[in-house]
Chain A
Amino acid sequence: MKLNAIKQALAVIAPEALAEAEHAKKGALLDVTVSATQVVEAVSVLDKEGFFIEAITGVDWLGEKENAHKDAVAAAKKKAQDAGKAAAKKVADAGGDEEAQKAAQKEAEAGVAIPAAPVEPFSEEMEVVYDFNNFAEFCRVVLRTRVPRSNPEVPTISHIYPGANWHERETHDFFGIKFVGHPYLAPLLLPEDADFHPLKKDFHV
């Protein structure tokens, strides 16, 4: 089984990063998150196991932490409301008067902690996603790495997979992610003098 072999091999590099995915729901079998410095090592392992490269792309997670915080706050507020209502109902059922109900509700609401806002300056991140697959047996492995948005740098893998050359150039075009060691990181799809990166979330048409 390719999957087991590659799991064992990748576990050496990043033991806690492996996550098996369900093909019917996600489309991949293995989802691996590694740090930027581990990318070359992980890709070499995939190369040794006979995988072919499907694609490289990026995802800009601008505002991810803020959004996550907003979501968490909203969830906590809802939880507090629910808890307050439940407490009030309990008091009402027990025959308590309106004031007692309100007091109980307030108490219950205060009991739920609202998550604190992320401490500034927090680092915004971009993600680089590598898709690998195998000719002999279906085994799509998704390799992910996160880089800081202010200085997005990932080592190139174009010396291992020459096909990655264009994919990395394209990702550089769209996201401005620098692939350190890439032989020719000039715009591929964008005009040759392009100094913008259209898939960044703060790029507006």
Chain B
Amino acid sequence: MSAFAQTQTNETFVLNLGPQHPATHGVLRVKLVMDGEYIVDAEPVLGYIHRMHEKMGENRTWAQFMPNTGRMDYLHALAYNHGYVSVVERAAGIEVPERAEYLRVITTELNRISSHLLWFGAFVLDLGGFSPLLYAFDDREQILDLLESVTGSRLTYCYFRFGGVYNDIDENFAAGARAFIKRLRERMPMYHALVTKNIILMKRLQEIGPISEEMCRKYGATGPVARGSGINFDVRKHEPYSIYPELRFDVPVYTEGDSMARYMVRMDEIEQSMRIVEQALDKLPEGPVMAAKAPKIIKPAKGDYYHAVETARGSFGVRVVSDGSNTPYRLKLRSPTFSNLSLFGEACRGMLLPDALALMGSLDLVIPEIDR
């Protein structure tokens, strides 16, 4: 990059990347100031799919906001369900039966695998490799079928309830989940052989788009982005919630901080999520899936409450302020990609356009979740 600094002149131009551009996976717009193919400055422009979920939350009852949570991060909707029900349960002091927590973890982790699979396909697509996408979709389809059988929907789930979940699983689901894990375990080596160890892919990702630990801290980046920069931070371990303390799993951490590290973190997370689902299925206790004493009308005590969960993209936090009525007084949604994307402007400075797009892909952006 030093050669670039020397030849830099004032002959720059502005390139509009988006809001309709194949690499931005949605309606994100990035205003790039370019010097040839070098990026001098980048400014993401947000808000194209802003829906003001937080205002919606103030205008409906606590329970009525549930469907909204599935429509922010549409790839890992169940984690958003989980974050919201957890904070309301914390505020209203609702106990959740153990079986329900197990079901929440099983479905959330399956959803995490599906999210990572889709990211994997879309990321390689960003790099110009089309075929892995369809293989990943093939696997993802199995998860969607499984989740559809229990939650009733395929993408924007609204499965959790205050005090439990809405539907119990049956034998077919457990058998199907186990069969799927067996199948995906067999296919992971294929993905690694065909994609991870591909020389072109390695050259495009290694040492490209470095993000330092300090940068993650200053920008509040979490999730695989932070873990790819050597930060051992996973809300499931860090601030344990639900039944995660009872399950054994590792948090993959890579110290390189480049796009490859973020790629590897997500690929390893798929394996860890499979471990979690298996253990949870083994340990699944009998019992009700809904708390018997769960109130029909929620009126949490005055005060404000926070709860964070780990989604596929990082730490998602909900802060609710209750005034004791049946609607939230204030609802703050802290979405992980909002922070993750905010470092893009600094991280891609001085990079070449294709590398910057690889970096953007490795951040795993879901635009509705950034814009909320």
Contact = CB atoms under 8 A, between A and B. Distances in A.
Given A27-B305, A131-B317, A190 B220 contact: no
A148 to B, nearest CB: 18
Interface in B46-62: 46-47, 50, 52, 54-55, 58-59
Nearest to A67: B323
Main secondary structure on B side of the interface with A: mixed
A142 B305 CA distance: 11
Given A135-B231, A188-B46, A199-B54, A26 B217 contact: no
Contacts of B358: none
Interface stretch (A33-41, A53-61, A104-112): A53-61
A189 B306 contact: no
A161 B218 contact: yes
Interface in B210-253: 216-221, 226, 231-233, 238-239
B315 interface: yes
A24 B55 CA distance: 27
Nearest to A23: B239
B330 A26 contact: no
A54 B55 contact: no
B220 A54 contact: yes
B342 A166 contact: yes
B22 interface: no
Which range holds the interface residue count of chain B? Answer: 35 or more
Interface stretch (B6-14, B94-102, B331-339): B331-339
Contacts of A60: 330
Contacts of B231: 135
A54 B321 contact: no
Interface of B: 46-47, 50, 52, 54-55, 58-59, 87, 90, 216-221, 226, 231-233, 238-239, 303-308, 315, 317, 319, 321, 323, 329-330, 332, 334, 338-339, 342-343, 346, 371-372
* A-B pairs with lowest CB-CB distance, top 6: A27-B306, A163-B219, A55-B334, A189-B47, A52-B217, A53-B220
Given A135-B216, A166-B338, 7 more contacts: A28-B306, A52-B217, A52-B218, A55-B332, A57-B332, A140-B239, A166-B342
25 contacts: A26-B305, A51-B217, A52-B217, A52-B218, A52-B220, A53-B220, A54-B315, A55-B317, A59-B304, A59-B329, A59-B330, A131-B317, A131-B319, A131-B334, A135-B226, A138-B239, A140-B239, A140-B306, A161-B218, A162-B218, A162-B343, A189-B46, A189-B50, A189-B372, A191-B47
